[in-house]
């Protein structure tokens, strides 16, 4: 009789283990934000974008990875960073992804920071500012 109870309880125990193991995956999410472009006029002074504010659903989450995108006019160059209250990551291209902000709170706004590239003399309009934050 006790062997029958053990077998009957096995599916429930297995399900419980699967739920506990899968819980971090089930709690994962992402948020996307876009803000208006900025005009960058100086190499020695960064211009910050408006903040990209996460939804309330990101509360208590931590960043896993961040993707970004911005557009420059053809032939123009800027120095770009994506910043969180806990630090910034240098962006090497107009789009990409990084895990450099992993572990930081996912419910904190992000913003871009731009400055003209060395040797660039003409102001540049940076458009299409967007982030995708994946969090757990």
Mean pLDDT, the chain cut into blocks of 10 residues (136 residues total) = 50 37 56 97 96 94 97 95 96 97 97 94 96 97
Question: What pLDDT is attached to residue 134?
Answer: 97
In this prediction the pTM is 0.78
Angstrom CA distances, 53 to 4, 122, 123, 131, 136, stand at 55, 31, 27, 10, 17
Residue 11 pLDDT:
45
Q: How far apart are CA 52 and CA 32, in angstroms?
A: 9
Closest CA to 91 of 49, 121, 122: 49
Q: How far apart are CA 52 and CA 61, in angstroms?
A: 16
């Amino acid at each position: 009789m006790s062997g029958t109870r053990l077998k009957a309880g096995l599916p429930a125990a297995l399900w419980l283990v699967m739920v506990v193991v899968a819980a971090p995956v089930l709690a994962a999410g992402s948020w996307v934000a876009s803000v208006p472009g900025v005009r960058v006029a100086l190499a020695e002074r960064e211009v910050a974008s408006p903040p990209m504010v996460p939804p309330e659903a990101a509360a208590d989450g931590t960043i896993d990875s961040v993707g970004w995108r911005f557009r420059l006019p053809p032939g123009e160059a800027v120095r770009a960073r994506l910043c969180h209250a806990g630090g910034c990551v240098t962006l090497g291209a107009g789009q990409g992804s990084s895990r450099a902000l992993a572990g930081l709170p996912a419910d904190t706004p992000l913003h871009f920071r731009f400055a003209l590239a060395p040797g660039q003399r003409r102001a540049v309009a940076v458009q299409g500012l967007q982030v995708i934050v994946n969090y757990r």
